[in-house]
Amino acid sequence: MSGVVLTIRDPAGPPIDMTGVLPERLAEGGREALAGLALVRGRGRHRLDALFTFQDGGPPGALTLRPGGAVLDGVGTGMTAGDIRVEGDCGAYAGSAMRGGTLTVEGSCGAFAAAGMTGGCLRVLGDAGDFLGAPLAGGTRGMSGGSVVVAGNAGDRVGERMRRGLIAVHGRVGSLCGARMIAGTIVVGAGCGPDPGQAMRRGSILLPRAPEPVPSGFSDGGMNDWLFLELVRKELIDGGAWPSGFPTAGTRARRLIGDRPAGGIGEVLILSEA
């Protein structure tokens, strides 16, 4: 079965909630299962085939979305398998509650991307908004599996309450990166805003330079050799998640340990000072 390309008919208007537009539905019921799906746009509900044209294309069983400037929220929400490619920008909640499969956004995405994610792979070739890999609105569990790679920048509270998995941002992130983090790995290629790791308990945040100021709840463990960095580097390079400004060899890094007021023993590793 060939893939399906969905092209927006009228990009003007309110955002479209794309919840339920998934490769699994295409695999189970074919094009007809997608065509009759009711989507919310503004105050109205519309059949998917009234909002998008259909044509064959792309990898077998995959969905390609061409938003043409329309705001598509919830792309890949709850996805468990297959592939979705967005040829442009998308809105909020891209890959939220994702459990498997691959979602590729060729542009930028809004807030809460990968929120509540437990598996799968999200790739963003542009920027991401606030709450990347954080809990869903009103929730308490951040990302707990899978991987996210953002080629550009990301906003505030990246990886808040993160429990497992990988978030790699090649550019810069905002404030409170890794706040209340429980486990997992966050890699930031171009520095971060204030208060990274606030109230973190475990996990690792890799930065190119020490935050200014260093959060008061962290103790300086000094410069040491960390042999696991070689394994981490190889894995992340293979996955396109190792920032270009990070050292390509060596195991030395400065380690900050905290957040002590929260009883935390997480780490912020500073790589370019080695």
Q: Which pLDDT tens digits describe the chain residue by residue (274 residues)?
A: 678 999 999 999 999 999 999 999 887 877 888 899 999 999 999 999 999 999 998 888 899 999 999 999 999 999 999 999 999 999 999 999 999 999 999 999 999 999 999 999 999 999 999 999 999 988 999 999 999 999 999 999 999 999 999 999 999 999 999 999 999 999 999 999 999 999 999 999 999 999 989 999 999 999 999 988 999 999 999 989 999 889 988 899 999 999 999 999 999 999 975 4
d(CA 128, CA 43): 27
Question: Cβ(111)–Cβ(131) under 8 Å?
Answer: yes
The C-alpha atoms of residue 266 and residue 81 are separated, in whole angstroms, by: 32
CB atoms within 10 A of CB 251: 16
Backbone angles phi, psi at 48, to 5 degrees: -60, -40
The CA-CA-CA angle for residues 185, 134, 205, to 5°, reads: 25
In DSSP terms, which residues pair with 167 in a beta bridge?
Answer: 148, 186
Kindly report the pTM of this predicted structure.
Answer: 0.95
Q: Is 180 helix (H, G, I), strand (E, B) or coil?
A: coil
State how far the alpha carbon of 261 is from the alpha carbons of 66, 125, 267, in Å. Answer: 48, 37, 14
